[in-house]
Chains A and B, each alone.
Chain A
Amino acid sequence: MDLNKSGSVEETIFTAKVNGIRSLYSGGDKKAVVVHIGELDQDKVNSISNLVETQMENFGVSKSAVKKIFNIVIETLQNICLHGEKDNNGYQMTYFIIGRINNEFNIHSGNIITNQQAERLNRRLNSIKSLNDTDLKKQYMDVLSNGELSSKGGAGLGFLTIALKSNNNMDFEFQMLNKEYSLFSLHSKVQG
């Protein structure tokens, strides 16, 4: 799989997805305020998160909303660093976009995962999505009480945190790219 190859099936699906998201935030009160497409590492996580913080403060977003957005951004980006797959050339295809519609901030991210991971993640996210506020908090406390960090550094709290900070305004999609890999897209919303 060569994700950087223009015109490949994988690249076409990825580009169509990114263009679709970008088109949601063009003109008037709708604006893409942060856009990152391409590889992701801890340095980029730090620079993107700094940028997000500064941007949000400049927009006059409340301190608590800035923190919620910052929380989601960190969990999203670190998830991708930990679990995102690379193509045969070691290239990691990801996108990260924050779109603003008036006072609503939409955090979009996408990365490549194996089809096997996609199946597992789909089940996990559907189960989180089905929880009400009380059960969400309860599951968070269960994981916090019993959770330990895996060798990859994951704690099982990341998606629960995103769900909590966005009041469960969280959508996701898996698009199969080929027999091995899928594009995993995540979208959450926070009111500024």
Chain B
Amino acid sequence: MMNSLEIPEGGNTPHILFDPAVPVFKIEGKSFPEDSKEFYRVLIEWLDAYKASLPPTFNLNFNLFYLSSSSIISVKQILLKLVEFQSLGTSVTVTWNYDEDDDDIKKTGEDYMKITKLPFQFVVND
């Protein structure tokens, strides 16, 4: 079984928890690191390694309330990784959580759905 990956929330970075043993895969909080490519590199590498284990299913949970433009590109790269999982036979789903009055974040999720064509489920936070 693959090791889990956890990055605690920072002042401008989200909490990341990827643990296949549970399983739980989530990215939560705000994201505006100075170097977004560098920040998400670890996660991309982790996903590449996990992809090789050919998991049957993969549900990625997002609950972000702020994304800078460079983070928006990085999250797209993560979703494109999931497309690679899908093409190898993994059943991929994305859950996109957002606050009821947060049209911007909802819209960002819809943009991603359009671009990646992954199955998205939109959930309003309680």
Whether a CB of chain B sits under 8 angstroms from the CB of A45 is: yes
B104–A157 CB distance below 8 A:
no
Cα A45 to Cα B11 in complex, Å, equals 11
Whether a CB of chain A sits under 8 angstroms from the CB of B32 is: yes
B115–A46 CB distance below 8 A:
no
Known: A141-B111, A153-B34, A153-B36. A46 touches B70 (CB 8 A): no
Chain A residues with Cβ below 8 Å from B15 are none
Cβ-closest chain A residue relative to B108 = A144
B73–A149 CB distance below 8 A:
yes
The B-contacting residues of A in range 132-158, CB under 8 angstroms, are: 141, 144-145, 147-149, 153-155, 157-158
A-B contacts counted at CB < 8 A amount to 65
Cα A71 to Cα B66 in complex, Å, equals 8
* A residues adjacent to B (C-beta < 8 A): 42, 45-46, 49, 63-64, 67-68, 70-71, 74-75, 78, 81, 141, 144-145, 147-149, 153-155, 157-158, 160-161
Partner of A67, one of B66, B70, B73, B115: B66
Partner of A155, one of B11, B12, B72, B101: B72
A155–B66 CB distance below 8 A:
no
Whether a CB of chain A sits under 8 angstroms from the CB of B74 is: yes
CB distance from A109 to the nearest CB of B (A): 16
B104–A67 CB distance below 8 A:
yes
Chain B residues with Cβ below 8 Å from A70 are 66
Partner of A144, one of B35, B36, B73, B102: B73
B66–A149 CB distance below 8 A:
no
Cα A155 to Cα B75 in complex, Å, equals 12
Known: A64-B104, A153-B37. A145 touches B68 (CB 8 A): no
Known: A78-B70, A155-B72. A144 touches B101 (CB 8 A): no
Partner of B103, one of A45, A64, A75, A158: A64
CB distance from A49 to the nearest CB of B (A): 8
B70–A149 CB distance below 8 A:
yes
A42–B101 CB distance below 8 A:
no
The A-contacting residues of B in range 31-66, CB under 8 angstroms, are: 32, 34-38, 66
Q: A49-B32, A147-B73, A155-B73 are in contact. List 12 more A-B contacts (CB 8 A).
A: A70-B66, A71-B104, A74-B68, A78-B32, A81-B34, A141-B115, A147-B76, A149-B37, A149-B70, A153-B34, A157-B73, A158-B70
Whether a CB of chain A sits under 8 angstroms from the CB of B125 is: no
Most chain-A Cβ atoms within 10 A of its Cβ — which of B11, B38, B69?
A: B69
5 contacts between A and B (CB under 8 A): A42-B34, A64-B102, A64-B103, A67-B102, A144-B115
B11–A46 CB distance below 8 A:
yes
